[in-house]
A = this chain, B = another copy of it.
Amino acid sequence: MDSEGEIYGPWQPPSAPRDAARGSGRREPAELKGPQVACSECALFALCLPVGVGEADLALLERVIKRRRLLRRGEVVFRQGERFHSVYAVKSGSLKTYVPVDGAGAQVTGFHLPGELLALDAVGAGCYQYTASALETASLCEVPFDRLEELGMLVPNVQRQMLRVMSGQIRQDLLMQVLHCKKTAEARLAAFLLDLSARFARRGFAAAEFGLSMSRGDIGNYLGLAKETVIRMLRRFEDRGLVSMARKRLRIRDLYGLERLAGMRAGELRLFETARPGATAASAARSPRRRT
């Protein structure tokens, strides 16, 4: 399916993190530690899934991939404002995306796990809307958008699938808005963990145990909380037996308890590219104290 783990670093913007030294010794790439998705599990593949799951489609897909890129922690894939040319699929590792914000630091806008698509929303803008950087060693598939468009000519449904993916993004943003406006710190963090869990599960990884590759600060930034609050809430969860944590490793012990805290079921977050005609949302009422 893949082979040849080409180590590209050709277009390397001035961001090299301190640990980007080439021959650092420890653990060479090629065999990547973390979870890694097969092409058939990747969001990119879903772009042409509707036409059938045959070998031919896989071949079509392979043809649009320009190259793979291997990133180390902190390396930047693209920056906000750069001219848009490619979308990316995460093959292994994880990334965060963020936008610089006025005077104070940045706003983390999302985390991206193996099998997920990156930057499709830049299509309509002509330039990337945010900066993407690796949270850990990661590999990506780059897909030049013009090739994807060509593919769209051959396979009419690809266009529709792109709309679908973007629509899924908007749906996700809606949920984030609810989270920010109506939920306490506790509920936000619970929802965040459930979201991660569901996304791992979706690609075939363990839903109950996974690594948090981002820092507490990043989580807090993303959720609109101070990092101290994130820490305190995590501790609270652990004290209540909802999760157990060792360093950056998290294990969910009481899924239902978390769902109760979050005020929503796990599946309700990130409904990505799944049309459910009749579903009208939650029922579970629970919310400590937050607005009317």
B165 in contact with A126 (CB, 8 Å): no
B181 in contact with A107 (CB, 8 Å): yes
Number of identical monomers bound together in the oligomeric complex:
2
Given A121-B170, A170-B121, also A178-B101 (CB < 8 A): yes
Q: A173: nearest residue on chain B (CB-CB)? A: B173
Q: Spell out A's residues near B (CB within 8 Å).
A: 80-81, 83, 99-105, 107, 109, 121-127, 129-130, 159-160, 162-171, 173-174, 176-178, 180-182, 217, 221, 223-224, 226-227, 263-264, 273, 275-287, 290-292
By a CB distance below 8 angstroms, the chain B residues around A159 are 159
> How many Å lie between the Cα of A51 and that of B239 in the bound state?
62
B277 in contact with A174 (CB, 8 Å): no
Given A123-B167, A163-B166, also A263-B103 (CB < 8 A): yes
The residue from B168, B178, B275 contacting A107, defined by CB atoms under 8 A apart: B178
Given A80-B281, A121-B170, A279-B81, also A104-B180 (CB < 8 A): no
Given A99-B178, A180-B181, also A104-B170 (CB < 8 A): no
A180 in contact with B180 (CB, 8 Å): yes
Q: A226: nearest residue on chain B (CB-CB)? A: B291
By a CB distance below 8 angstroms, the chain B residues around A275 are 124-127
The residue from B101, B125, B181 contacting A167, defined by CB atoms under 8 A apart: B125
> How many Å lie between the Cα of A121 and that of B124 in the bound state?
14
Q: A285: nearest residue on chain B (CB-CB)? A: B103
